[in-house]
A and B are shown apart, each in its own frame.
Chain A
């Protein structure tokens, strides 16, 4: 619960800060279609955020330091609604930062961005929930629990699929979509041979300690 609360506060504060800073730029510099209907603006903001999250999420699985920060999100061995918000705050900022900055620079309407982020919060709970729900053939369009559970597979090599947050289009476009008749169950998700500290502060320090340890091993090897 603490993870969700802290990350929500951070995201809301980042949006407020980003759009506060945007006020310093002249309106003439804005490329955003502000005269478009609001539902179009919400979907457009959503597309930018979703693509940004997909790219940064995929990069977080490739870059060792980002993976250390992101590991916390993959550590639970049973998925339920709160796992959507179980992220290291630095990882949350790194995932959402680029797309929110781009939207700020483009001059996006704040309420369109805020509305999408609110919807995303609901979606992340559904995506990680332990509910037996199904979208049938529409699961190929949305990143929902039945396909996202593959992304949380215990074996790291098998978990490099279904990086998308809301729309599955990015996974289809960039070749990371995986679908199967079954879905991983509790015990088949999580991380192999990894013990995560139980306390919130311990979990915040965990990836940084792992980094310090890795640096020290590298220095000793030289």
Chain B
């Protein structure tokens, strides 16, 4: 679990959020409310993982 958190969190959460947002921008998805929702979800994951 510790190894997974150590090496997978950044690529999975930040990389995943970045790819998703680039895809959303390319596909014409509206900024509100989708971009802030993705941002908040990713930030919430970081905050929760700090407590693991």
Footprint of B on A, CB under 8 Å?
37-39, 42, 80-81, 111-112, 114-115, 118-119, 121-123, 125-126, 129-136, 144
Contact = CB atoms under 8 A, between A and B. Distances in A.
Interface string B18-37: 10011011100001000110
B49 A122 contact: no
Given A115-B24, A119-B17, A132 B43 contact: no
A119 B5 CA distance: 20
B22 A38 contact: yes
B interface, how many residues as a size bin? 20 to 34
B5 A42 contact: no
| Secondary structure dominating the interface of B | helix
Contact of B43 (A37, A121, A130, A136): A121
Nearest to A142: B10
Contact of A132 (B5, B14, B22, B39): B5
Interface of B: 2, 5-7, 9-10, 13-14, 17-18, 21-22, 24-26, 31, 35-36, 38-39, 42-43, 46-47, 49-50
A138 to B, nearest CB: 9
Contacts of A126: 10, 13-14, 46
Nearest to B36: A118
A133 B9 contact: yes
Given A37-B26, A129-B46, A131-B49, A119 B10 contact: no
A51 to B, nearest CB: 18
Contacts of A111: 25, 31
A220 to B, nearest CB: 47
A17 B49 CA distance: 35
B38 A118 contact: yes
A123 B35 contact: no
Nearest to A129: B46
B46 A81 contact: yes
B35 to A, nearest CB: 5
A119 B21 contact: yes
* Most A Cβ at <10 Å: residue of B6, B13, B18: B18
B25 A133 contact: no
Nearest to B48: A81
B2 A135 contact: no
Contacts of A37: 26
